[in-house]
Amino acid sequence: MVTPGNSFERVCWMGITIVAPGPPGSKGECAEACPNCRPCVWYVSGVATTPRKGALLLAGAIITEVAGSLSLKGALTTPLLYAVVVVGYVAAFVLLAAVLRTGMAIGVAYGIWGATGVALTAVMSLIIFGEPLTLLMGIGILVIIAGVLCVELGSQAAHRGPAEVNSEVA
């Protein structure tokens, strides 16, 4: 299914099989080979996927990790919640691995997963446990989110290639 050299096989909406040089969502030979190109099904490591599927799996990974983290705090008084901790963390890593199978870069996936997890855990611990969320903590969360945005934008620039990035800078 996937050809050597990190190419990705894609089944076009017209049923035409196209091999693109980059991961799902990248521009390149795919658009040239099929001018009527629309987002369709990609096969990464033999698994059918779409960018939306990766985002949904990532959301699941974030939610299960946050649930596990919050349950860890709750387990201090209710030991039965340790089961939720284990299930939450195992599910989070299984879903994160599934995200990577969709073709999302690990730096992007892990950055979004970590930053969103930190932000949600801080907000939810305020709501559930009454823990403080100070202005400085809020600024720290914003800095983490800004860092993840930089990683995502850098990842997109890397997929476009040096010629396109240089033309945007000029």
91-131 per-position pLDDT tens digit:
999 999 999 888 888 888 888 999 899 999 999 999 999 99
- Do 100 and 126 fall within a single domain? yes
Is residue 21 situated within a structural domain? yes
* Percent residues over pLDDT 70 in the chain: 63
Q: If DSSP codes are grouped into helix, strand and coil, which group holds residue 86?
A: helix
Q: What is the pLDDT of residue 106?
A: 87
What is this structure's pTM? 0.66
Which of 50-54, 76-80, 130-134 shows the lowest mean pLDDT across its residues? 50-54
Q: What is the pLDDT of residue 9?
A: 60
- Do 61 and 80 fall within a single domain? yes
Residue range(s) defining the domain that contains residue 34: 8-48
- Do 67 and 137 fall within a single domain? yes
- Do 42 and 68 fall within a single domain? no
Residue 85 near residue 75, CB atoms below 8 Å: yes
For range 155-160, the mean pLDDT: 69
- Do 102 and 119 fall within a single domain? yes
d(CA 21, CA 28): 7
d(CA 49, CA 135): 40
- Do 74 and 151 fall within a single domain? yes
Is residue 3 situated within a structural domain? no
d(CA 89, CA 71): 10
Total number of domains in the chain: 2
- Do 36 and 108 fall within a single domain? no
Is residue 74 situated within a structural domain? yes
- Do 35 and 67 fall within a single domain? no
Cα–Cα separations (whole angstroms), residue 83 to 40, 41, 74, 88, 124: 39, 37, 11, 8, 20
Is residue 168 situated within a structural domain? no
- Do 122 and 39 fall within a single domain? no
Residue 24 near residue 50, CB atoms below 8 Å: yes
59-89 per-position pLDDT tens digit:
999 999 999 999 999 999 999 999 999 999 9
- Do 97 and 116 fall within a single domain? yes
Q: What Rg do the C-alpha atoms of the chain give, in angstroms?
A: 20
Is residue 1 situated within a structural domain? no
* 42, β-bridge pairs: 10, 49
- Do 79 and 153 fall within a single domain? yes
Is residue 86 situated within a structural domain? yes
Q: What is the pLDDT of residue 17?
A: 58
Is residue 73 situated within a structural domain? yes
- Do 38 and 59 fall within a single domain? no
Is residue 23 situated within a structural domain? yes
Token duo for residue 71: 């349950």
